[in-house]
Amino acid sequence: MADKARQGKLIVFSAPSGSGKTTIVRYLLKQPELNLEFSISATSREKRGNEVHGKDYYYLSLKEFKNKIKNDEFLEWEEVYRDNFYGTLKEEVERIWAKGKHVIFDIDVSGGLRIKRKFPEQTLAVFVKPPDLNELVRRLKDRGEESVEKISMRVAKAPAELATAPLFDTIVINSNLDEALENAYTKVSEFLAK
């Protein structure tokens, strides 16, 4: 990884599916004064629909992904489902830092905590919390993007993910989106000003 002088900061947003973290991250990316760029994850899963390599994900074959693990090319990675890997390439963070920007992640809980452990001083780890599980279920259903089975799988993971909230630097409760956006903006801008 780059020398300290060239490194920016790392802003991690993690949450159970349906908490609103992606909406918050997209909002923060539109604030030019924060100087953020999104970290694109790598995955071994197949492209879906209109997804684009290098925009939505870096799509790697299972063999390529495993070779990159072996060569220590990931900042963090995880096998989410059997032979279905996701991770953050070191070169992706380097690419963003080389532009003089800070890196923002929309990433699962365990990946977010791994980044925080590796870069404790440079990372702000934010946990986005839904008001309650019923609201989480409603949001996932309202999206209309996934099957009942997939929603059930995501909801089943939520209690374990919610239990990790105290391990993060700060928590944003998303019961009112405008307030959550404002709260997230304040926390990120204060961290970047340090």
Q: Does residue 146 have a pLDDT over 80?
A: no
Rg (CA), the chain: 16
The residues near 189 (Cβ < 8 Å, ≥ 6 apart) are 33, 34
pLDDT confidence of 158, banded at 50, 70, 90?
confident
Parent domain of 131: 4-193
* pTM: predicted TM-score of the whole model, two decimal places: 0.89
The residues near 147 (Cβ < 8 Å, ≥ 6 apart) are none
Q: What pLDDT shows up at residue 114?
A: 95
Q: Does residue 131 have a pLDDT over 60?
A: yes
Q: Does residue 2 have a pLDDT over 60?
A: no
- Rounded Cα–Cα distance for residues 79 and 98 (Å): 29
Q: What pLDDT shows up at residue 77?
A: 95
> In the block, which residue shows the tokens 């920016």?
8
> Interhelix angle for 133-143 vs 148-163, to 10°?
140
Structural domains counted in the chain: 1
Rounded to the nearest integer, the mean pLDDT of the chain is 91
* CATH code: domain of residue 160: 3.40.50.300
